[in-house]
Amino acid sequence: MIEAWLYSWFVERGSDPDLNENYFESGAIDSLGAIELIEAVEKHFKFSFRQHDFQDRRFSTIAGLAEIVDERVQALSISRE
Predicted TM-score (pTM) above 0.75:
yes
Q: Is the pLDDT at 80 greater than 70, yes or no? A: no
Q: Domain 2-79 in CATH: superfamily?
A: ACP-like (1.10.1200.10)
Tens of pLDDT along 44-65? 999 999 999 999 999 999 999 9
* Cα–Cα distance, 75 to 35 (Å, whole number): 23
Alpha helices in 1-81 (DSSP H): 2-12, 31-45, 51-55, 62-79
* Domain boundaries, given as residue ranges, for the chain: 2-79
Q: Is the pLDDT at 77 greater than 90, yes or no? A: no
